Amino acid sequence: MLLAVAAHQAETHHMFNVKPGDLFGDACLLCGLLAKGARICAPCLDVMPRNDCFCPCCGQPVMTRQPDGVRCAACQRKQPLFDLARAPFHYAFPVDAALKKMKFRRQLAIAPAFAELLLPVLHAEFSHCDALVPVPLHRWRHVTRGFNQARELCMPLSKAANLPVLDSVVRVKATGSQSGLSASERRKNLHGAFVARHNLPFRHPVIIDDVITTGTTSGQLAQALLRAGVSSVSVLAVAYSSTL
């Protein structure tokens, strides 16, 4: 018994000698292996599915690279309500798994890791933007989840790019799950979902989200912002999913 207590004390003592950084600080957020001071390790960065071949307008992945400036069929048919959308990754492993962990298992440390990867895109393509707008959750969803993943992405971006975060857009409709709905059903489901107050103190907001699926959410939010008087709306998300 005494020996067991002594052993336990020795073990506890040993545990307290381990610096927190040894356990968590250098672990890659995607694979859990040593990341040498980075949030995502180099091998994981290498295999992340990059969305390199995309429509210059809506950012959706396209099969073959088009001549410069040629838009996808959907954008040629109808200009989206936003000017420009970008998502640097496909919604595929390990990006999809990490985004699900962030959203459904509350692993909020993943947000600044992805924000770090969005920052160069923000600088390169959205230099005209003057505010960040996280896609708002309906307040019931916000209460249940306890956080808004889009806002979690916005906070480190706001700090690094010195842009304000606009929180005053409200999601007035609890839309439920969008998955399994067709594009027109999604539009109907989301119609009038967002309300932005007028006289917003900026002109070129960029909507921030975790995943773009059909662009319907961004389109509806863009419409609310344009109605509130902004000049243009852009969209920046971590991943583009055309199959959700």
How many residues contact Zn ion, by CB under 5 A? 10
- Could you give phi then psi for residue 238, rounded to 5 degrees? -70, -50
**What DSSP state is assigned to residue 27?**
B
Nearer to Zn ion, 6 or 47 (CB): 47
Do the Cβ atoms of 208 and 173 come closer than 8 Å? Answer: no
Q: Which is nearer to Zn ion, 166 or 212 (CB)?
A: 212
Q: Is 98 in the site for Zn ion (CB under 5 A)?
A: no
Residue closer to Zn ion by CB (options 196, 221) is 221
Contact flag: residue 57 with Zn ion (CB under 5 A)? yes
| The one among 39, 48, 61, 72 contacting Zn ion by CB under 5 A | 72
Using CB under 5 A, which of the segments 19-27, 51-59, 157-165, 197-205 binds Zn ion? 51-59
Examine residue 84 and tell whether it contacts Zn ion (CB under 5 A).
no
Phi first, then psi, for residue 84 (nearest 5°) are: -155, 135
Report which DSSP code applies to 50. Answer: B
Among 48, 51, 55, 235, binds Zn ion (CB under 5 A): 55
Report the nearest approach of Zn ion to the CB of residue 107 (Å): 14
206: nearest Cα among 148, 173, 161, 149: 161
Residue 85 or 193 having the CB closest to Zn ion: 85
* Residue 135 dihedral angles phi and psi, to the nearest 5°: -60, 120
Q: For residues 70 and 56, is the Cβ–Cβ distance under 8 A? A: yes
Q: Of 166 and 235, which has the nearer Cβ to Zn ion? A: 235
Ranges within 192-231 binding Zn ion (CB under 5 A): none
Work out whether 110 is an interface residue with Zn ion (CB under 5 A): no
Q: Biggest alpha carbon distance in the chain?
A: 79
First to last CA, the chain: 57
Site membership for Zn ion, residue 113 (CB under 5 A): no
Residue 85 binds Zn ion (CB under 5 A)? no
Q: Which residues inside 11-50 make contact with Zn ion, applying CB under 5 A?
A: 28, 30-31, 41, 44
Q: How many residues appear in the chain?
A: 244
Q: Does 58 bind Zn ion (CB under 5 A)?
A: yes
Q: Interacting stretch for Zn ion, rule CB under 5 A, among 66-74, 104-112, 211-219, 236-244?
A: 66-74
Binding segment for Zn ion (CB under 5 A), chosen from 55-63, 127-135, 185-193, 210-218, is: 55-63
Cα separation of 83 and 117, whole Å? 22
Q: Is 75 in the site for Zn ion (CB under 5 A)?
A: yes
Full 3-state SS string of 64-93? CCCCCCCCCHHHHHCCCCCCEEECCEECCC
Instruction: Let me know if 134 is exposed, middle or buried by CB neighbors in 10 A (0-12, 13-18, 19+).
Output: buried
- Residues lying near Zn ion in the complex (CB under 5 A) are found at 28, 30-31, 41, 44, 55, 57-58, 72, 75
